[in-house]
Structure 1
Amino acid sequence: MNAPFLREEIGTGTVFDRLLSSSVPSCPDSPCEQCGDQSAVNGVIESCLDCFLSGNDLYIFCYSVSPAFFISKVRGGTCTFASSDPAADVLHRARYLLRHGFGAYDLITNNCENFAIYCKTGLLVTTSYSVGRSGQWGCIVSAANAIAGSSLRFLSSSFGGLAVVTSGIYCLNRVVSDIGIRRDVTKFPIEEPVRRIVA
């Protein structure tokens, strides 16, 4: 996908910067000497850090966070209550999925955040219908629910009260949709995701 018009919009300071920069593959004039040409590859790939970052900053995703830390991170997709497994288990999962795949990419239900969280924790959502499996998508859904779906907003007569109620609903929605809290999450051995994808 060559979309130079999208690349021109990246870095303008809008909320879409991260979405567009992570969704539009970089198309260098010459393939990377370490990675080769992976422009036609779909699914899980192995790349060098420079190609992975594609000129963007590196952000650290935090595991086993406290409730206060979780709520203080207003933007979703930055941390989870779930604990990370030992590095050997994480690398084993990542290498296995590199060979066998992680299914078709889907921005909402099967994206790079889902892949990384599964590799780090071994946790998968077991329900077939799930709103906001990833923290970033859960953040968007939580914001929409907090703004549009709250009947509690009518209990507050002031703007300040409305802001407190809406913020509380947003935070609660983020907490209950986190993979470390949800009840529809199970720890699966590495072969199970591949079996589910093939079936």
Structure 2
Amino acid sequence: MGVLTNKIKRENLKTGDHIYSYRLAYTYSHHGIYVDAGNVIHFTREEGQETGTGTVLDRFIDFSLLPRQRPLDNPCPICSDQSNSDQSKRDGVISSCLDCFLSGGGLYLYEYGVTRTFFLAKARGGTCTLASSESPEQVIHRAFYFLRKGFGDYDVIKNNCEDFALCCKTGLKVIPTVSMGQSGQAASFQAAAGIVISSSLLFLARSSPLGFLATNVTGLAGGYGTYCVNRLANDIGVRRDVMKVVLEEET
């Protein structure tokens, strides 16, 4: 593990690891909890499509993923034998083999308990957090609990696969009244979108190409600083608008 890559070999995986894999030419990543013997519990929407509802990005990702989905009449020989109550279940919290989870992508390990310096050095969100992980036993217990009970409705911003994995690892969940979940990936997308909008406004405001160039370089430098601050402020290990999830079986 390091600043440049979080890639990990299969043989080095441990029970309770938070893993992820990139989709659509590294546009976004899908997250889950590694159980054991090559099994992963993860949170999806509609046949494994890791998207929300109603946005242009959702429709673009949906269209791109459709050819890669395994049809229900041709199930994976490994996943089809797993003990889900509904073997045709393809959305919500599901259990699948590692190959189906990766869907042809690489295997990466999400890091916990990193320093602020390390966190900010990772330019891309959705790879690490300042929060500490609880024990593997607690992580697996939560993952199986959510497999049985569900994790609510999937939302690409407020309640996605990374939010699910973070909750399994830390027991923390963002208070439902806030406008955004705890996902580092979602925070990065929103912060980056703000930089693009600011740059576009600068372009429209400057009639001189040289004036635009000087202003835009300064704006981008400041924008990247804002991007980093926003990522840090939305990290589950820093924010205070979270609550401890108490499972019914623990009361």
TM category, shorter? 0.7 to 0.9
Give the drift of 1:183. Answer: 1.3
Change in 2 beyond 3 A, CA 1:16/1:87 = closer
Give the drift of 1:164. Answer: 2.3
Alignment-derived partner of residue 56 in structure 2: none
1:183 partner amino acid: R
CA contact (8 A) 2:126 2:185 kept: yes
Alignment-derived partner of residue 220 in structure 2: 163
Aligned positions, number: 179
Residues in 1 aligned to 2:65 and 2:119: alpha-carbon distance in whole angstroms: 26
Alignment-derived partner of residue 180 in structure 2: 131
Unaligned stretches of 5+ in structure 2? 1-22, 31-49, 51-60, 82-86, 203-213
CA contact (8 A) 2:172 2:243 kept: yes
Q: Is 2:97 aligned against 1:48?
A: yes
Give the drift of 1:14. Answer: 7.0
Unaligned stretches of 5+ in structure 1? 1-9, 193-199
Alignment-derived partner of residue 69 in structure 2: 26
Structure showing greater relative contact order (alpha-carbon pairs closer than 8 Å, 6 or more residues apart): 2
Change in 2 beyond 3 A, CA 1:159/1:91 = same
Which structure has more helix as a fraction of its residues?
1
Alignment-derived partner of residue 69 in structure 1: 118
Change in 2 beyond 3 A, CA 1:23/1:185 = farther
CA contact (8 A) 2:70 2:76 kept: no
Residues in 1 aligned to 2:28 and 2:187: alpha-carbon distance in whole angstroms: 16
Task: Give the RMSD, CA atoms, in angstroms.
Answer: 3.1
Give the drift of 1:40. Answer: 4.4
Identity of aligned residues (%): 48
Structure 1 residue runs of 4 or more that deviate by more than 4 Å after TM superposition: 16-19, 21-25, 37-40, 157-160
Alpha-carbon deviations, 1:59-111, whole Å to 9, x = none? Answer: 11111111111111111111111110000000000011111111121211111
Alignment-derived partner of residue 81 in structure 1: 130
Normalised by the length of structure 2, the TM-score is 0.62
Give the drift of 1:16. Answer: 6.6
CA contact (8 A) 2:114 2:129 kept: yes
Which structure has more strand as a fraction of its residues?
2
Higher deviation after alignment, 62-71 or 23-32: 23-32
